[in-house]
Amino acid sequence: MQVVDIEEFYDADERRRESQEIEFGSDWHDAANNRFELSYVVDTGELYLMASPEAESLEDAFGDIAVDDEPVEGLTVRVIATVPTLADLEGRLAGWEDEMVKPASIAWLEARFGASGGA
């Protein structure tokens, strides 16, 4: 699947909005060091990466740093695989916590699921 806007993703299949989603970390990185969140849509079996623009950090009057909430605009999604069951997915993602924190960790996901995103 190509990269699409988050709203396009949900609009394309209403089951996505109603489904439980399970997150598998939010510190995945590509070779350019862009950050991604990995999630699984239970009702559709889709495993997807969501990229977002970096949230802006602001300093308040007391010198504390606050991070603005991420706007929905600019959030993009790419489905990397369709996996029929959560049990199957958990088996294929075994060790993800250790892999996620490595540089260019998305390469590990691509090796596990293939460039085509097949199940």
Q: Is the pTM of this model over 0.85?
A: no
> Using one digit for the tens of pLDDT, what is the confidence trace for 31-89?
999 999 999 999 999 999 999 665 444 455 555 544 444 445 678 999 999 999 999 99
Q: What is the pLDDT of residue 66?
A: 44
SS3 (DSSP) at 7: helix
H or E stretch including 87?
A: helix 86-92
Q: What is the average pLDDT value for the chain, to the nearest integer?
A: 85
Residue 93 predicted with pLDDT over 70: yes
- How many angstroms separate the first and last alpha carbons of the chain? 13
Cα 76 to Cα 50: distance, rounded to the nearest angstrom: 6
Written as six digits, the tokens of 91 are 């088996």
Share of the chain above pLDDT 70, in %: 76
Q: Detail the DSSP E strand segments found in the chain.
A: 4-5, 21-23, 28-29, 35-41, 46-51, 57-59, 65-67, 76-82
Alpha-carbon separation of residue 90 from 29, 94, 108 (angstroms): 20, 6, 15
Domain ranges of the chain: 4-113
- Most distant CA atoms of the chain, gap in Å: 51
